[in-house]
Structure 1
Amino acid sequence: MARDGRLGDRLISDDRTNFAPRIGWAWNPSEKWSYRAGTGIFYMQDTGNPRFDMARNLSGRRRDNTLLLTPDLTLDTPFRGVGTANDCGVAPPLVCLTNIYVLGNVPDRKTPYMWQYLFNVQRELGSSTALEVGYLGSHSFRLERMFDWNETIPSTIGSVQSRKPYPEYTKVQEIGNVAEAKYNSLAIKLTRRLHQGLSVLGGYTLSKSTDNGSGIRVLNGDTLFPQNSFCLDCEWGLSVFDVRHRFVTSVLYELPFGQGKPFAQTGVGAKVLGGWQLSTIINKSSGFPRTVFTGSDRSNTGGGQDRPNVTGQDPNLPGDEQTIARWFNTSAYVTQAAGTFGNAGRDTVIGPGIFRVDASIIRNFRFGAKYIQFRLEAFNVLNNTIWNDPNTTLSSPLYGTINSTRTPMREVQLGLKFVF
């Protein structure tokens, strides 16, 4: 393939404006208090090589969309119009590549970057314990996401193709610096180093992450393209990975028996009671936000990923009203008028949270510097049901219900390790 000379020898131009200053500050007014602050610019590199999507243009590309609930295409007939007269003058079963799907790059693409800032306070509580409280925030710019330069204008009049800005093409797909993100968090951490057989690491985070696109590719319910590529502000909402509350604590306790311990240092007591360790990890967190879709192409744009209208009611039910038969307020959304986009935002329904306890019992049998370790480990030891996200398709008969679990039930395993 020959170049036309307009882009030089590369797919995108160099970005020579990447300047990443950083500054930090620390102050210890006493032996027990410590203050820290910092800010800086951090640049992010490409992932997944999206620049080379253009290579798929060489063979020509056509994609006919269908609806999930009422599909009219199959593996045997993946395109419409095959076997009928077409505009190219080719005989069936050849496919006419009219209205092709085009993939492009933004030639003056800029490097995405994040401005990050933090402040925390640390207080020593005794000789082996410390408490830390801090704020961490960030604002990300020039993030990349996929969008369509040839988005169909929603309407009930005329064909989908005739309402595109460039009707000779279907989608004109680009990955550009069109997304932005913000993150703010308050974090509390308690650390106890191993002392008198007890070690504790506990943390709680209150955070909020928002953006108008959580990734280039489809991620946990986010769509590949915006509902409307000409209104990226309409995509602003919670990130698909936002977790409002998260509490994680790990505890390790060595029984106070055996050699080097306060009790039963020798004899039968040391052999029977010595070398035992108990540990646990407790994880409790809020659910992830998810988007409600109509499940049909109400906008008549050929996409099938429309969001509905909101009624003004809170979509999230109080905790004591949430059941797997009705996890969220299904009356908070209604189907929008035909030929229009819905006004519901992204990621407005919060799914089930997680509460999980893992535990282990360990026994060490020592032979000088060597030892054999026996492990009994239990995951989800309380056998707590951790539900998956609810169905958020408005036209589905399962709308609002939960029909699966996120993680397995209790699992127990045994292990034996020889350390030498």
Structure 2
Amino acid sequence: MSHNFTISPTKLNQFTFHFQDFKNAILGVTEAPRITFPGGIEIGANVNVPQATEERKFQFRDDFSLQFDKHSLKFGVNYIHTKLGGFFFFGSRGYTVTFFDLPSVIATNTALYPLGFATPGAVQNIQFAAGEASHDQTLHQLAFYVQDDYKITPRLTLNLGLRWDANIGNLPDQTNNRTILLLQQLNHPLAQAITADPQKLSRSTPSWTEIQPRIGFAWDPTGAGRTVIRGGYGIFYDQLFQNLTLFGKSQADPEIYQTVLNLTNTAVGVGQLSAYRFGIDPLPAPPAGFNISNLAVGGFGRITDPDASEPYIQKFSLGFETTLGRDYTISSDYVHTLGIHESRVQVINPRIENICNALYPGSNPASPQCVRGVNSRLLDLAFVNAGLPANRLEQINMIGTTNRSLFDSWTTTFKMRKRGMLFSASYVLSSSRSWGGQPVASYTGNGIAIAPQNQFLPQEFGPTRFDERHRLVMSGVFELPWGFQIAPILQLSSARPYSPSTGVDIDGDGLGTIDRLCEGVSPLALLQSVIQTGAGLPSVSDRVRALNPRGCVQAPVNSQRSGFVVRSDGTIEERSGRFFNVDLRVGKNFRFGERYRLSTYADFYNLFNVENLSYANRFGLSPATAAGTFSQPFSLYGPGFGPPVGRPLTVQFGARFTF
């Protein structure tokens, strides 16, 4: 609902009220355990279900516009009241059983798996999760702004603006977070740094100082209206969205969703599940005395960084646009973007195998820190000194905003318009970089968490998985004789990078997901090793470790842009990861008198049937332990939450009749 009030020819007030009510529920379909294998193979229950989302929103906005002299002034206020509800299981509900190898390997490698799936220690990990994870929350979003388009001269205009935002209630109070309560009992520098300030733990508004100045200009150097030079700078804040903060919030609620059991083998037959026989022994029971209102011994801790801030960018641009003759236009713009306070998940209680495991160079297994031998974690000794079990908590994830990103692009566009012809071509030279190689303006998941001491290693900064150095796009509409029309569009871009990863823990922090190949190790050489089959071979993970020893310096993030295709005869072909696609529409109109028209068309997608292949999962990782997909085609080009970009040649016919 809106109301416009014209006060005078130069004054206008606009008031808007908006109401929105949203409800959604996704139900689970089975209570069976979730069973996972390398390469993303899963059977049984899905993660994140069941879940429900409820959102009720009221928005009040008022804008006042004023024209005077050389100024076009506008200022206003925006208030949004949001009531959020529902629940979300941010992982599996019930049991998850993970194997080291693919089913085909377990069934055929009798030397390593003499009893197949029932071989003692064949399982890599067993987890059990239970509880509820509600996300009831009330948010108040308040913003004020003022802007002015100031026409200094007929040829020069300044665009000036200032905005202030506050997202009140966007941070959950962590005073009663169970992980925080346990950390407060520890005499450890890390735990004390996190819990020392009660005001930070209880604050619910990320910041009251989100001041965002903006300035831009447009200059006509000749006064002929055919050329403009433009540029600008601004600060733009985003909002910490709930999919980040609900993890810490869930452990402050009366009933906690949590992983109450997490048992791991480091190799087949080695570790906490060394004697477990899948399909014969019952699944391990949760710890005795477990209470859903408290974190179980050995549970998974989740908190939000007390210093978390809302992300923002500083953006600068400079460019020009000019017309050439009557039919041609060319423009070119440079954009620089610096992302600050972007999200990264840190594991603040990592394993310390680099100290406690004799297989790591420079280790000291006799250290007092090694309370549980090779299974020891950073805070184990502090838990013991506080009179608690050494494994009072296992992994602790902290959602923080410690990341940064950089994006630079230079975009040049040429347009032509003639009788019976429209044509456009654009070229983009760009570079996208960040710590961890993720597009950190969006949430990238607990699954790729990193230990704090590794977050800012030199090799952690590099191109993001969406980085495309070059992109060319050409399109047009062309009228042909006999009433035919064709509209092609061509896209060509350089390959996106990814990280060939080991799939096993290399640095001793207990996190194998993001550990990359050792520096200097050839992905091709590793692929040749892991795809070998037959009895008597070491496990795939052992073959990975043979080329990637513990404690090595890892390769830079997202260092690979090509992949491989393994032929049926075992030979390996290297393939580019570039993207090339041509789509085409061919149409013809038929007229019947003055009132009737039949429009027919045929759409050709991927006209030349090019295989645009992606060699990594949606996190830009390709684990070597998944031998069947390591650095090999994982999906069509464009992996992510959305559908793939690529597709085989597809033809679609259609018609439209108008009268």
TM-score, normalising length: structure 2: 0.51
State the alpha-carbon separation in 1 of the partners of residues 546 and 174 from structure 2.
50
Is it true that 1:384 corresponds to 2:582 in the alignment? no
Measure, in 2, the Cα distance between the counterparts of 1:79 and 1:236. Answer: 45
Q: Quick one: distance in 1 between partners of 2:469 and 2:281?
A: 43
- Specify the SS of the correspondent of 2:623: coil
Identify if the C-alpha distance between structure 1 residues 405 and 20 changes in structure 2 by more than 3 Å, giving closer, same or farther.
closer
Distance 1:418 1:22 in 2: 49
State the shift of 1:202 in Å.
Answer: 1.2
Unaligned residue ranges in structure 2 (runs of 5+)? 1-133, 135-172, 177-197, 358-364, 381-389, 525-530, 532-544, 563-576, 638-645
Q: Secondary structure at the match of 1:53?
A: helix
The corresponding residue for 2:376 is: 162
1:45 to 236, 239, 250: 239
Match of 1:295 in 2: 503
Q: 1:309 Cα shift?
A: 1.6
Provide closer, same or farther for how the CA distance between residues 208 and 199 of structure 1 changes in structure 2, counting only shifts above 3 A: same
Pick from 309, 332, 343 the counterpart of residue 554 of structure 2: 343
- Structure 1: gaps spanning 5 or more residues: 91-95, 258-272, 317-324, 326-332
Write the distance in 1 (CA, Å) between the matches of 2:555 and 2:596: 63
**Aligned-pair distance for 1:341?**
5.7
Give, in angstroms, the shift of residue 144 of structure 1. 1.2
Q: Alpha-carbon deviation of 1:173?
A: 1.2
Could you report, residue by residue, the CA deviation over 1:207-233 in whole angstroms, capped at 9, with x for unpaired residues? 0000014246447xx95212x332211
Cα pair distance change 1:169/1:26, threshold 3 Å: same
Shift of 1:102: 1.1
Matched, 1:419 2:622: no
**Higher deviation after alignment, 1-10 or 115-124:** 1-10
Distance change (3 Å), C-alpha of 1:223 and 1:286:
farther
Give the superposition deviation at 1:149: 1.4
2:473 aligns with: 248
Residues of 2 paired with 1:287 and 1:335: CA distance?
26
Q: How far is the alpha carbon of 1:109 from its aligned partner?
A: 2.4
Offset at residue 290 of structure 1 (A)? 0.5
2:471·2:494 contact (CA, 8 Å) conserved in 1?
yes
**1:131–1:140 Cα change, 3 Å:** same
How big is the shift at 1:237? Answer: 1.3
Residue 100 (structure 1) aligned with residue 299 (structure 2): yes
Moved more, 74-83 or 277-286: 74-83
- Aligned residues of 1:7 and 1:13 also touching (Cα < 8 A): no
Provide the secondary structure at the position in 1 that maps to 2:210.
coil
Alignment equivalent of 2:405, drawn from 169, 181, 184: 181
The answer to whether the 8 Å contact 2:520/2:555 transfers is no
Tell me the secondary structure at the aligned position of residue 260 of structure 2.
coil
Q: TM-score scaled to structure 1, two decimals?
A: 0.78
Q: 1:153 to 1:385 in 2, by over 3 A?
A: same
1:82 lines up with 2:285 in the alignment:
yes
Structure 2 counterpart of 1:191, one-letter code: K
Structure 2 residue aligned with 1:233? 456
Q: Comparing both structures, which one devotes a greater share of its residues to helix?
A: 2
Partners of 1:237 and 1:311 in 2: CA distance: 17
Could you tell which deviates more after superposition, 288-297 or 210-219?
Answer: 210-219
Normalized per residue, the structure richer in strand is 2
Spell out, residue by residue over 1:375-409, the C-alpha distance to the aligned partner (whole angstroms, 9 max, x if none).
11100111122222168434554544446644332
Higher relative contact order (CA 8 A, sep 6+): 1
Compute the RMSD of aligned alpha carbons. 3.6
**Structure 2 residue matching 1:29: 3-state secondary structure:** coil
* TM-aligned CA distance change 1:80 to 1:347, over 3 Å: farther
Alpha-carbon separation, structure 2, partners of 1:65 and 1:241: 35
* Structure 1 residues 103 and 4: alpha-carbon distance in aligned structure 2, compared to 1, 3 A threshold: closer
User: Partner residue of 1:281?
Assistant: 489
Deviates more, 1:230-239 or 1:365-374: 365-374
Q: 1:393 to 1:61 in 2, by over 3 A?
A: closer
Secondary structure (helix, strand or coil) at the match of 2:336 reads strand
Residue 287 of structure 1 aligns with an amino acid whose one-letter code is A
User: Shift in Å at residue 370 of structure 1?
Assistant: 4.6
What amino acid is the match of 1:154? E
Match in the other structure for 1:13: 205
Query: Equivalent pairs: percent with the same residue?
Result: 22
After alignment, is 181-190 or 4-13 more displaced?
Answer: 4-13
Task: Give the aligned partner of residue 261 of structure 1.
Answer: none
Contact 1:307–1:342 (8 Å) recurs in 2 = no
Q: Tell me the number of residue pairs that the alignment of Structure 1 and Structure 2 aligns.
A: 374
CA deviation string 1:294-313 (max 9, x = no partner): 12223343322222321288
Which has the higher mean CA deviation after the structures are superposed, 16-25 or 40-49? 40-49
Residues 320-376 of structure 1, C-alpha deviations (whole Å, 9 max, x = no match): xxxxx9xxxxxxx984433x2642221111140110100011112234355221011
- Aligned residue for 1:265? none
User: Which of 351, 362, 370 is 1:152 aligned to?
Assistant: 351
Indicate how the Cα distance of structure 1 residues 3 and 397 shifts in structure 2: closer, same or farther if over 3 A, else same.
Answer: closer
Cα pair distance change 1:61/1:76, threshold 3 Å: farther
Contact 2:581 2:608 in 1 (8 A): yes
Aligned pair in 2 of structure 1 residues 384, 89: CA closer, same or farther (>3 Å)?
closer
CA pair 185-74 structure 1, distance change in 2 beyond 3 A: farther
Cα gap change, 1:78 to 1:34, in 2 (>3 Å): farther
Q: Residue 170 and residue 249 in structure 1: after superposition, are their counterparts in 2 closer, same or farther (change >3 A)?
A: same
